[in-house]
Every structure is written in C-alpha cells, then in structure tokens.
Amino acid sequence: AQTVTQSQPEMSVQEAETVTLSCTYDTSENNYYLFWYKQPPSRQMILVIRQEAYKQQNATENRFSVNFQKAAKSFSLKISDSQLGDTAMYFCAFMVGAQKLVFGQGTRLTINP
C-alpha cells in the first residue's frame, strides 16, 4: 500500500521569504504521479503543482517548485517570495494511473506580514 508522510504539521514564515515543505512517500510502483494541493479555509482543494515520476526534471509553476528525489522517495515543495495568500493547508499526494489520490496529513503554512 502506498503511504505519504508530511513531517511538518505547522510552519510559519515572514512574507517574501522562501519556505520548503517536506514530503516522503512509500511505493513499489515505478510509474506514478505526485502532487501538491493547497486547501485554504474555504476548503476548496486547489492543485499547486504536479510531477510525473518518469520525468527527471523538477516541475516549476511560477513561485512554486519541487525537489523530486525518486530514489529517496522525497518530494518537497519550495515557495519563493511567499505571499499572504499562500496561507493554507498544503497536502502532498500520490497517484498511480487514474486511481485514487493518497494524501499526507498536511502542513499548515502561515505567512506573516
């Protein structure tokens, strides 16, 4: 069974700083997808970034980038120039094929002015 672990329950940084959220996962699959989702207080789960396991190049989306280490089964999210609107719960998730998403426990990120 696949598992996803987020070891940081809460993090807090100042606006404009860079922050890195950690995620590790366990699987015996070779082809899979990894995601970071953002969930603000409104509860809407919003996709931040995705990574296909067969791609060696790390995914980037504007201020968001990942450090994907397949051998170490690690998938961290870096947020550069953090903004107040980045305050939310962040979930790391894993998916094989078109199956279910397996989520981690989440990291509550607070950006302070």
Please tell me the distance from the alpha carbon of residue 68 to that of residue 65, in angstroms, as a whole number. Answer: 10
Q: How far is the CB of 85 from other proteins (least distance, A)?
A: 18
Q: How far is the CB of 43 from other proteins (least distance, A)?
A: 5
| Residue whose C-alpha is closest to residue 8's, from 67, 70, 73, 91 | 91
List 25, 36, 68, 91, residue binding other proteins (CB under 8 A): 91
List 2, 33, 64, 87, residue binding other proteins (CB under 8 A): 33
Separation of first and last alpha carbons in the chain? 41
Residue 105 in contact with other proteins, rule: CB under 8 A: yes
Q: What is the CA radius of gyration of the chain?
A: 13
Q: How far is the CB of 96 from other proteins (least distance, A)?
A: 9
